[in-house]
Structure 1
Amino acid sequence: MASHMTEMLKGTLEGIVLAILRDQPAYGYEITTRLRDEGFESIAEGTVYALLIRIEQKGLVDVEKVPSEKGPPRKVYSLNESGREQLADFWETWGVLSARIEHLRPA
Protein backbone atom coordinates (compact mmCIF):
# COMPACT_ATOMS: atom_id res chain seq x y z
CA MET A 1 0.00 0.00 0.00
CA ALA A 2 2.88 2.40 0.71
CA SER A 3 3.94 2.58 -2.94
CA HIS A 4 0.36 3.31 -4.04
CA MET A 5 0.12 6.05 -1.44
CA THR A 6 3.39 7.61 -2.60
CA GLU A 7 2.30 7.61 -6.24
CA MET A 8 -1.08 9.16 -5.43
CA LEU A 9 0.52 11.81 -3.25
CA LYS A 10 2.75 13.01 -6.08
CA GLY A 11 -0.25 14.48 -7.86
CA THR A 12 -1.81 16.03 -4.78
CA LEU A 13 1.13 17.21 -2.69
CA GLU A 14 1.05 20.75 -4.06
CA GLY A 15 -2.57 21.16 -2.95
CA ILE A 16 -1.80 19.63 0.44
CA VAL A 17 1.09 22.05 1.03
CA LEU A 18 -1.02 25.01 -0.10
CA ALA A 19 -3.69 23.89 2.37
CA ILE A 20 -1.08 23.85 5.16
CA LEU A 21 0.05 27.36 4.21
CA ARG A 22 -3.56 28.57 4.20
CA ASP A 23 -3.56 28.29 7.99
CA GLN A 24 -0.30 30.14 8.62
CA PRO A 25 3.06 30.97 7.05
CA ALA A 26 5.77 28.35 7.57
CA TYR A 27 9.28 27.39 6.55
CA GLY A 28 10.24 24.09 4.93
CA TYR A 29 10.97 22.07 8.04
CA GLU A 30 7.72 23.22 9.68
CA ILE A 31 5.78 22.14 6.61
CA THR A 32 7.48 18.74 6.61
CA THR A 33 6.71 18.32 10.32
CA ARG A 34 3.08 19.28 9.77
CA LEU A 35 2.79 16.78 6.93
CA ARG A 36 4.16 14.05 9.18
CA ASP A 37 1.82 15.09 11.99
CA GLU A 38 -1.07 14.75 9.52
CA GLY A 39 -0.05 11.18 8.66
CA PHE A 40 2.14 11.73 5.61
CA GLU A 41 5.26 10.18 7.18
CA SER A 42 6.69 8.88 3.91
CA ILE A 43 7.23 12.31 2.36
CA ALA A 44 10.92 13.19 2.27
CA GLU A 45 12.17 16.65 3.18
CA GLY A 46 13.82 16.95 -0.22
CA THR A 47 10.47 16.42 -1.91
CA VAL A 48 8.95 19.24 0.13
CA TYR A 49 11.82 21.64 -0.59
CA ALA A 50 11.64 20.91 -4.33
CA LEU A 51 7.90 21.55 -4.24
CA LEU A 52 8.41 24.84 -2.37
CA ILE A 53 10.78 26.00 -5.11
CA ARG A 54 8.17 25.13 -7.76
CA ILE A 55 5.28 26.91 -6.02
CA GLU A 56 7.51 29.94 -5.45
CA GLN A 57 8.43 30.00 -9.15
CA LYS A 58 4.74 29.67 -10.06
CA GLY A 59 3.99 32.74 -7.93
CA LEU A 60 1.65 30.92 -5.52
CA VAL A 61 3.45 32.02 -2.36
CA ASP A 62 5.20 35.04 -0.97
CA VAL A 63 8.60 34.42 0.58
CA GLU A 64 10.17 36.31 3.44
CA LYS A 65 13.67 35.66 4.73
CA VAL A 66 13.60 35.56 8.52
CA PRO A 67 16.75 35.47 10.65
CA SER A 68 17.48 32.11 12.23
CA GLU A 69 19.11 31.47 15.58
CA LYS A 70 21.21 28.81 13.87
CA GLY A 71 22.63 29.25 10.41
CA PRO A 72 21.35 31.26 7.46
CA PRO A 73 17.99 33.04 7.35
CA ARG A 74 14.93 30.85 6.86
CA LYS A 75 12.59 31.25 3.93
CA VAL A 76 9.09 31.59 5.32
CA TYR A 77 6.34 30.87 2.80
CA SER A 78 2.89 32.42 2.95
CA LEU A 79 -0.03 31.84 0.63
CA ASN A 80 -0.79 34.80 -1.64
CA GLU A 81 -3.90 35.52 -3.72
CA SER A 82 -2.73 33.34 -6.63
CA GLY A 83 -2.04 30.53 -4.18
CA ARG A 84 -5.51 30.87 -2.65
CA GLU A 85 -7.04 30.67 -6.13
CA GLN A 86 -4.93 27.60 -6.93
CA LEU A 87 -6.00 26.01 -3.63
CA ALA A 88 -9.67 26.69 -4.40
CA ASP A 89 -9.18 25.02 -7.81
CA PHE A 90 -7.47 22.08 -6.10
CA TRP A 91 -10.40 21.55 -3.72
CA GLU A 92 -12.92 21.83 -6.55
CA THR A 93 -11.02 19.29 -8.64
CA TRP A 94 -10.53 17.05 -5.60
CA GLY A 95 -14.27 17.10 -4.91
CA VAL A 96 -15.16 16.07 -8.45
CA LEU A 97 -12.46 13.41 -8.64
CA SER A 98 -13.17 11.87 -5.24
CA ALA A 99 -16.92 11.76 -5.98
CA ARG A 100 -16.25 9.91 -9.24
CA ILE A 101 -13.89 7.47 -7.55
CA GLU A 102 -16.37 6.81 -4.73
CA HIS A 103 -19.06 6.13 -7.33
CA LEU A 104 -16.88 3.35 -8.74
CA ARG A 105 -16.20 1.81 -5.33
CA PRO A 106 -18.11 -1.41 -4.67
CA ALA A 107 -20.72 -1.22 -1.93
Structure 2
Amino acid sequence: MDRRTQWLRGVLDLCVLGALARGESYGYEIAQRLEAGGLGVIAGGTLYPALLRLERLGLVVADWRTGASGPARKYYRLSDDGAATLRSAGADWAVFVGNVNAIMEVP
Protein backbone atom coordinates (compact mmCIF):
# COMPACT_ATOMS: atom_id res chain seq x y z
CA MET A 1 0.00 0.00 0.00
CA ASP A 2 1.48 3.36 -0.94
CA ARG A 3 1.75 6.36 1.35
CA ARG A 4 -1.05 8.31 -0.35
CA THR A 5 -3.47 5.42 0.11
CA GLN A 6 -2.63 5.18 3.80
CA TRP A 7 -3.14 8.90 4.34
CA LEU A 8 -6.36 8.91 2.35
CA ARG A 9 -7.86 6.17 4.51
CA GLY A 10 -7.77 8.50 7.49
CA VAL A 11 -9.10 11.61 5.81
CA LEU A 12 -11.41 10.47 2.99
CA ASP A 13 -14.65 11.05 4.89
CA LEU A 14 -13.62 14.60 5.71
CA CYS A 15 -12.60 15.21 2.09
CA VAL A 16 -15.96 13.92 0.84
CA LEU A 17 -17.75 16.28 3.23
CA GLY A 18 -15.55 19.09 1.93
CA ALA A 19 -16.38 18.22 -1.67
CA LEU A 20 -20.09 18.30 -0.83
CA ALA A 21 -19.72 21.69 0.86
CA ARG A 22 -19.37 23.06 -2.69
CA GLY A 23 -22.86 21.79 -3.48
CA GLU A 24 -24.82 18.61 -3.90
CA SER A 25 -23.47 16.05 -6.30
CA TYR A 26 -23.49 12.42 -7.44
CA GLY A 27 -20.71 9.90 -6.93
CA TYR A 28 -18.76 10.30 -10.16
CA GLU A 29 -18.79 14.08 -9.84
CA ILE A 30 -17.61 13.85 -6.21
CA ALA A 31 -14.74 11.64 -7.37
CA GLN A 32 -13.89 14.25 -10.01
CA ARG A 33 -13.88 17.02 -7.39
CA LEU A 34 -11.54 15.00 -5.18
CA GLU A 35 -9.22 14.25 -8.09
CA ALA A 36 -9.20 17.91 -9.14
CA GLY A 37 -8.34 18.77 -5.54
CA GLY A 38 -5.15 16.73 -5.81
CA LEU A 39 -6.19 13.47 -4.17
CA GLY A 40 -5.71 11.40 -7.28
CA VAL A 41 -8.19 8.92 -8.68
CA ILE A 42 -10.65 7.67 -6.05
CA ALA A 43 -12.09 4.32 -7.11
CA GLY A 44 -15.80 3.66 -6.76
CA GLY A 45 -14.98 0.76 -4.42
CA THR A 46 -13.46 3.32 -2.08
CA LEU A 47 -15.84 6.25 -2.57
CA TYR A 48 -19.23 4.56 -2.42
CA PRO A 49 -18.65 2.78 0.92
CA ALA A 50 -17.55 6.16 2.35
CA LEU A 51 -20.72 7.82 1.04
CA LEU A 52 -22.86 5.03 2.51
CA ARG A 53 -21.06 5.35 5.86
CA LEU A 54 -21.59 9.13 5.89
CA GLU A 55 -25.25 8.65 4.98
CA ARG A 56 -25.75 6.13 7.80
CA LEU A 57 -24.11 8.56 10.22
CA GLY A 58 -26.56 11.25 9.15
CA LEU A 59 -23.80 13.50 7.79
CA VAL A 60 -25.07 13.38 4.22
CA VAL A 61 -28.54 13.04 2.76
CA ALA A 62 -29.10 11.20 -0.51
CA ASP A 63 -31.92 10.92 -3.01
CA TRP A 64 -32.35 9.32 -6.41
CA ARG A 65 -33.16 11.46 -9.43
CA THR A 66 -34.07 10.37 -12.90
CA GLY A 67 -31.88 11.68 -15.66
CA ALA A 68 -33.12 13.28 -18.86
CA SER A 69 -30.64 11.39 -21.00
CA GLY A 70 -29.46 8.51 -18.83
CA PRO A 71 -30.05 6.37 -15.79
CA ALA A 72 -31.13 7.70 -12.41
CA ARG A 73 -28.37 9.07 -10.21
CA LYS A 74 -28.07 9.19 -6.46
CA TYR A 75 -27.35 12.76 -5.39
CA TYR A 76 -25.69 13.55 -2.06
CA ARG A 77 -25.73 16.74 -0.02
CA LEU A 78 -24.48 17.75 3.40
CA SER A 79 -26.93 17.54 6.27
CA ASP A 80 -26.80 20.17 9.01
CA ASP A 81 -24.84 17.66 11.12
CA GLY A 82 -22.50 17.07 8.19
CA ALA A 83 -21.80 20.79 7.83
CA ALA A 84 -21.14 21.08 11.58
CA THR A 85 -18.86 18.05 11.47
CA LEU A 86 -16.96 19.51 8.54
CA ARG A 87 -16.38 22.78 10.42
CA SER A 88 -15.28 21.03 13.60
CA ALA A 89 -13.21 18.24 12.04
CA GLY A 90 -11.76 20.66 9.49
CA ALA A 91 -10.44 22.84 12.29
CA ASP A 92 -9.04 19.77 14.07
CA TRP A 93 -7.41 18.64 10.82
CA ALA A 94 -5.74 22.02 10.32
CA VAL A 95 -4.21 21.82 13.81
CA PHE A 96 -3.08 18.24 13.20
CA VAL A 97 -1.43 19.13 9.87
CA GLY A 98 0.29 22.09 11.51
CA ASN A 99 1.65 19.82 14.23
CA VAL A 100 2.88 17.25 11.72
CA ASN A 101 4.55 19.97 9.65
CA ALA A 102 6.25 21.35 12.78
CA ILE A 103 7.59 17.90 13.69
CA MET A 104 8.97 17.38 10.18
CA GLU A 105 10.83 20.71 10.08
CA VAL A 106 14.56 20.18 9.79
CA PRO A 107 16.53 22.42 12.16
Normalising by structure 2, report the TM-score: 0.89
Aligned length: 105
**How far apart are the structure 1 equivalents of 2:21 and 2:59?**
11
Aligned to 1:104: 103
Shift of 1:42: 3.6
**How far apart are the structure 1 equivalents of 2:70 and 2:99?**
48
Structure 1 alignment gaps of length 5 or more: none
Fraction of identical pairs, as percent: 32
**How far apart are the structure 2 equivalents of 1:42 and 1:33?**
8
8 A Cα contact 1:6 1:42, kept in partner = no
8 A Cα contact 2:31 2:41, kept in partner = no
State the AA in 2 paired with 1:20: A
Normalising by structure 1, report the TM-score: 0.89
**How far apart are the structure 2 equivalents of 1:39 and 1:94?**
17
RMSD over equivalenced CA pairs, Å = 1.4
Structure 2 alignment gaps of length 5 or more: none
- Give per-residue Cα distances to partners, 1:56-90, cap 9 Å, x unaligned: 0000011121112322x211001111001110122
Shift of 1:14: 0.5
**How far apart are the structure 1 equivalents of 2:23 and 2:62?**
13
Deviates more, 1:15-24 or 1:32-41: 32-41
**How far apart are the structure 2 equivalents of 1:41 and 1:101?**
22
Aligned to 1:26: 25
